[in-house]
Amino acid sequence: MTGSTSVPVRRIPGHLWAAVRIGAGAAPGVLAGYVLVTVAAGVAPVAAAAVLRTVIDGLAAGRGIAALTVPAVLLACLGLILGVVPAVRGHLYGRMLRAVGVRAMDRLYQAMSRIVGIGVMESPEFRDRLRMAQQSGRSGPGQLVDDTLGAVESAIMLSGFVGVLAALNPWLALLALAAAGPALAAQMWLNRRNARMLWRISGRARREAHYAELLTSLSAAKELRMLGLGELFRGRMLREMTAGNREQARQDGRELAVRSLLAAVSAIVAGGGLIWAIHQAAAGRLSIGDISLLVAAVGGVQSAGSGLVDRFASAHENALLFDHYRTLVDAEPDLPVPPHPLPAGPLQRGIELRDVWFRYGPDKPWVLQGVDLTIPHGSTIALVGLNGAGKSTLVKLLCRFYDPTRGSVTWDGRDLRELDPAEVRDRIGVVFQDFMAYEFSAAENIGVGDLSAMDDRERLEAAAGRAGIHQALAALPNGYDTMLTNAWYDDADRENDETGVLLSGGQWQRVALARAFLRDRRDLLILDEPTAGLDPEAEYELHRGLRRHREGRTSVLISHRLGTIRDADEIVVLADGVVRERGSHDELMAADAGYARLFRMQADGYAAAE
Ligand X SMILES: Nc1ncnc2c1ncn2[C@@H]1O[C@H](COP(=O)(O)OP(=O)(O)OP(=O)(O)O)[C@@H](O)[C@H]1O
135 touches 128 (CB < 8 A) = no
Q: Looking at beta carbons only, is 276 or 360 nearer to ligand X?
A: 360
Q: Looking at beta carbons only, is 122 or 213 nearer to ligand X?
A: 122
Among 122, 223, 455, 551, binds ligand X (CB under 6 A): 122
Q: Looking at beta carbons only, is 97 or 368 nearer to ligand X?
A: 368
- Helix, strand, coil shares, percent, the chain, to 5: 65, 10, 25
φ, ψ of residue 570 to 5 degrees: the values are -140, 135
Distances (CA, A) of 40 to 80, 89, 181, 381, 438: 11, 11, 26, 73, 51
Binding string to ligand X for residues 146 to 185, with x set by CB under 6 A, is what? ----------------------------------------
Distances (CA, A) of 59 to 70, 288, 305, 412, 440: 13, 10, 31, 95, 75
Q: Looking at beta carbons only, is 401 or 440 nearer to ligand X?
A: 401
In the region spanning residues 18 to 57, those forming contacts with ligand X, defined by CB under 6 A, are none
Among 393, 445, 554, 564, binds ligand X (CB under 6 A): 393
- State the DSSP H helix or E strand holding residue 207, giving kind and residue range, or none if neither: helix 202-216
Task: Confirm or reject binding of residue 301 to ligand X (CB under 6 A).
Answer: no
Task: Confirm or reject binding of residue 392 to ligand X (CB under 6 A).
Answer: yes
Q: Contact region for ligand X (CB under 6 A) — 244-252, 390-398, 482-490, 498-506?
A: 390-398
Binding string to ligand X for residues 567 to 606, with x set by CB under 6 A, is what? ----------------------------------------
Q: Looking at beta carbons only, is 320 or 588 nearer to ligand X?
A: 588
Q: What is the DSSP secondary structure assignment for residue 7, as one 8-state letter? A: -
CB of 598 to ligand X, least distance (A): 12
Q: Looking at beta carbons only, is 367 or 542 nearer to ligand X?
A: 367
CB of 234 to ligand X, least distance (A): 29
In the region spanning residues 419 to 478, those forming contacts with ligand X, defined by CB under 6 A, are 433
Q: Looking at beta carbons only, is 336 or 388 nearer to ligand X?
A: 388
Q: Looking at beta carbons only, is 63 or 127 nearer to ligand X?
A: 127
Q: Contact region for ligand X (CB under 6 A) — 175-183, 380-388, 536-544, 581-589?
A: 380-388
441 touches 480 (CB < 8 A) = yes
CB of 325 to ligand X, least distance (A): 26
Number of helices (H), then strands (E), belonging to the chain: the values are: 18, 10
Q: Looking at beta carbons only, is 357 or 440 nearer to ligand X?
A: 357
For ligand X (CB under 6 A), the number of binding residues is 13
324 touches 129 (CB < 8 A) = yes
- Angle CA 431–433–535, to nearest 5: 90
d(CA 481, CA 129): 38
φ, ψ of residue 448 to 5 degrees: the values are -65, -15
In the region spanning residues 350 to 379, those forming contacts with ligand X, defined by CB under 6 A, are 360, 364, 367
CB-based contacts of 301, cutoff 8 Å, min separation 6: 158, 161, 162, 165, 176
Among 388, 413, 477, 505, binds ligand X (CB under 6 A): 388
CB-based contacts of 89, cutoff 8 Å, min separation 6: 34, 37, 38, 41
d(CA 468, CA 377): 27
What does DSSP say about strands 366-376 and 350-359: parallel, antiparallel, or unpaired? antiparallel
Task: Confirm or reject binding of residue 389 to ligand X (CB under 6 A).
Answer: yes
203 touches 310 (CB < 8 A) = no
Q: Contact region for ligand X (CB under 6 A) — 36-44, 98-106, 274-282, 386-394?
A: 386-394
404 touches 358 (CB < 8 A) = yes
What does DSSP say about strands 406-411 and 414-415: parallel, antiparallel, or unpaired? antiparallel
CB of 212 to ligand X, least distance (A): 24
Q: Looking at beta carbons only, is 417 or 560 nearer to ligand X?
A: 560
CB of 44 to ligand X, least distance (A): 59
CB of 493 to ligand X, least distance (A): 37
Beta strands in 412-492 (DSSP E): 414-415, 428-431
Q: Contact region for ligand X (CB under 6 A) — 162-170, 241-249, 384-392, 454-462?
A: 384-392
d(CA 603, CA 606): 5
Query: Strands across the sheet with 578-583, in order?
Result: 428-431, 524-528, 554-558, 380-384, 570-575, 578-583
424 touches 416 (CB < 8 A) = yes
d(CA 186, CA 261): 10
Among 222, 231, 332, 387, binds ligand X (CB under 6 A): 387
Among 23, 390, 500, 577, binds ligand X (CB under 6 A): 390
Q: Contact region for ligand X (CB under 6 A) — 214-222, 282-290, 383-391, 531-539?
A: 383-391
Q: Looking at beta carbons only, is 23 or 385 nearer to ligand X?
A: 385
CB of 405 to ligand X, least distance (A): 13
Q: Looking at beta carbons only, is 288 or 575 nearer to ligand X?
A: 575
Task: Confirm or reject binding of residue 327 to ligand X (CB under 6 A).
Answer: no
Q: Looking at beta carbons only, is 118 or 209 nearer to ligand X?
A: 118
d(CA 176, CA 168): 13
Among 107, 326, 391, 427, binds ligand X (CB under 6 A): 391
Q: Contact region for ligand X (CB under 6 A) — 103-111, 229-237, 248-256, 385-393?
A: 385-393
Q: Computed over its alpha carbons, how large is the radius of gyration of the chain? A: 35
Task: Confirm or reject binding of residue 94 to ligand X (CB under 6 A).
Answer: no
CB of 600 to ligand X, least distance (A): 19
Among 385, 429, 449, 577, binds ligand X (CB under 6 A): 385
CB-based contacts of 359, cutoff 8 Å, min separation 6: 365, 366, 367, 405
Q: Looking at beta carbons only, is 387 or 471 nearer to ligand X?
A: 387
Q: Looking at beta carbons only, is 322 or 402 nearer to ligand X?
A: 402
Binding residues (CB under 6 A) for ligand X: these are 122, 360, 364, 367, 385, 387-393, 433
